[in-house]
Homo-oligomer: A and B are copies of this chain.
Amino acid sequence: MVSWNNLDTLDAYKELQAVKEVNLQEVMSGESGAERVKKYSVPMAAGLAYNFASKKVDDDILAVLAKLAEEAQLIEKYEELYNGAMINTGEKRLVLHQLCRGQLGKDVIADGVNKREFYVDQQNRVAAFANKVHSGEIVNAEGEAFTTVVQIGIGGSDLGPRALYMALENWAKANQTFKMEAKFISNVDPDDAAGVLAGTDVAHTIFVLVSKSGTTLETLTNEAFVKDALKKAGLDPAKHMVAVTSETSPLAKSADYLDAFFMDDYIGGRYSSSAAVGGAVLSLAFGPEIFARILSGAAEADRLATLKNPLENAAMLDALIGVYERNVLGYPYTTVLPYSQALIRFPAHLQQCDMESNGKSVNRFGEPVNYVTGPVIFGEPGTNGQHSFYQLLHQGTNIVPIQFVGFKNSQIGTDVVIEGSTSQQKLCANVAAQIMAFACGKSDENLNKNFEGGRPSSIIIGDQLTPESLGALLAHFENKVMFQGFLWNLNSFDQEGVQLGKVLAKRVLAHETDGALRAYSDLLNI
């Protein structure tokens, strides 16, 4: 049996607070630095590696982190999760997104169904549908092929699928697996839907309506918006829409859709890219076999996350180092900086995944915790960020821990040699240079040009951003967040913090307000 305890009750945590801090400038200088780069690396799924040489850890701290992992029973808790325990205590739900990608443990039977079989069945249904669209078996009323897919969803039904689509769009084109252009409508701002529709040939478009509950305000509103546009174009919405929802939702068996694909309450929105929420749009855009390759990279990452030794389990080590940085070193943020333009929206997805999961002040039993939990997550691709906010990262008054991501090869392969190097080499040279600039700095008598260093970063390195490595990245961060939730003793799988705003917004729309809320509503002409 596992026991769920607050972080500050663990002996290893107390030990961690007393252990000597690493002087990063010192350990990363000279040959000792080179040794660390070679030694402090953990293999990940799909050929990726997590290098943490420039984090403020050494063998002593790693030993305490390993004790902390054991005392917090991280692996045992993960086992409980994938074997079907009710880990989401607040909503009394299992947590099964990993089961979309593979079977790590026992059969999970819930609601009288083998859940792995249920998810695979939905994947097969999505694949069959996508294949029929691609082969021309499913066409529009004029008998013409569909060329575009537009996802209507918000939050987890938007950010993850959108980030993954953008991550593989160029790769798919370069590898002749690109099938349909994908677009996304999310915001209740009417200009979002109107703007996307204005640039879309709706007669050749399939809309994927994504709402687990079938009650999400933004999504239902945007569905009505799109149906309006389809009708105005003389088209039958039912011939242009599919639904991704739960079997019990009002959308599930409606005649309003070409088809409906199912997920369930055991997959949280921000973890649903691996389910039909990501599967439908990505299978339509790139083909079901590409989506399957994303899942296989993620499944491999999920398996590696079962390893007890943090030095073999990158997600767990990343989580442990993050907690050390947050709770012992006191850094209130983490920035994710992918040196890959294709990952431009990946930080926005991680921002949700991390901040919505662990941005909480009470433990899984509803008791206040006496320590800080999830940090603020933000990021943009390099080298763009170097010409933007890196100034603060290098010379600001606070330290911001960094998570770099880099690949040896580009996706498209077109490149130019300028001053003896390709763009890809310049990209990689820049990320290597940044790590060292942050770690070691450079003294200058003019303090305005002085870099104090001591600013920790890690880097995940891969050969190329492919479906497999993308899936591995996705699962790495999901699992990191999961392990951090275990360490902080949180329920990482509910999101009660989003409820109050919804309730008050309804009251505003019903004109049932007074006081300041009434006054704000007046200012906004509602």
Of the listed stretches A76-84, A235-243, A419-427, chain B binds A419-427
Q: How many copies does the complex hold?
A: 2
What per-residue 1/0 map shows which CB atoms of A379-403 lie under 8 Å from chain B?
Answer: 0111110111111111111101000
- Bound Cα distance A497, B446 (Å): 12
The chain B residue sitting closest to A430, CB to CB, is B505
Chain B residues whose CB sits within 8 angstroms of the CB of A372 once the complex forms: 397-398
Q: Flag if B355 contacts A396 (CB, 8 Å).
A: yes
The answer to the question of A449 belonging to the interface, with a C-beta cut-off of 8 Å to chain B, is yes
Q: How far is the CB of A496 from the nearest CB of chain B, in Å?
A: 5
| 29 residue pairs bridging A and B, Cβ less than 8 Å apart | A28-B515, A28-B516, A53-B516, A154-B383, A159-B388, A173-B198, A189-B341, A191-B340, A195-B341, A218-B383, A218-B387, A220-B418, A228-B416, A269-B387, A348-B380, A361-B395, A367-B447, A376-B376, A394-B501, A421-B509, A432-B504, A432-B524, A434-B505, A436-B516, A436-B520, A439-B516, A440-B516, A451-B497, A459-B520
Chain B residues whose CB sits within 8 angstroms of the CB of A272 once the complex forms: none
The answer to the question of A415 belonging to the interface, with a C-beta cut-off of 8 Å to chain B, is yes
Q: Flag if B400 contacts A433 (CB, 8 Å).
A: no
- Bound Cα distance A398, B374 (Å): 9
- Count residues of A near B (Cβ-Cβ below 8 Å): 161
Of the listed stretches A14-22, A32-40, A478-486, chain B binds A32-40
Q: How far is the CB of A130 from the nearest CB of chain B, in Å?
A: 23
Of the listed stretches A250-258, A282-290, A405-413, chain B binds A405-413
Q: How far is the CB of A92 from the nearest CB of chain B, in Å?
A: 12
User: With A29-B515, A423-B221, A448-B90 given, is the CB distance from A187 to B384 under 8 Å?
Assistant: yes
- Bound Cα distance A322, B201 (Å): 46
Q: Flag if A509 contacts B426 (CB, 8 Å).
A: yes
What per-residue 1/0 map shows which CB atoms of A452-481 lie under 8 Å from chain B?
Answer: 100000010100000000000000000000
Q: How far is the CB of A47 from the nearest CB of chain B, in Å?
A: 13
Q: Considering residues A170, A339, A430, which has the most beta carbons from chain B within 10 angstroms of its beta carbon?
A: A430
Q: A residues 1-48 with Cβ under 8 Å of B? A: 28-31, 33-34, 36-38, 41
Q: Flag if A497 contacts B37 (CB, 8 Å).
A: no
Q: Considering residues A29, A186, A221, A369, which has the most beta carbons from chain B within 10 angstroms of its beta carbon?
A: A221
Chain B residues whose CB sits within 8 angstroms of the CB of A173 once the complex forms: 198
Q: How far is the CB of A185 from the nearest CB of chain B, in Å?
A: 9
Q: How far is the CB of A251 from the nearest CB of chain B, in Å?
A: 15
Q: Flag if B412 contacts A155 (CB, 8 Å).
A: no
Q: Flag if A433 contacts B508 (CB, 8 Å).
A: yes
Q: Flag if A505 contacts B225 (CB, 8 Å).
A: no
Q: Flag if B507 contacts A433 (CB, 8 Å).
A: yes
- Bound Cα distance A416, B437 (Å): 52
- Bound Cα distance A383, B372 (Å): 27
Q: Flag if B428 contacts A526 (CB, 8 Å).
A: yes
- Bound Cα distance A151, B124 (Å): 43
The chain B residue sitting closest to A398, CB to CB, is B332
Chain B residues whose CB sits within 8 angstroms of the CB of A429 once the complex forms: 505-506, 508-509, 521, 524, 526
Q: How far is the CB of A379 from the nearest CB of chain B, in Å?
A: 9
Q: Flag if B187 contacts A383 (CB, 8 Å).
A: yes
Chain B residues whose CB sits within 8 angstroms of the CB of A36 once the complex forms: 516
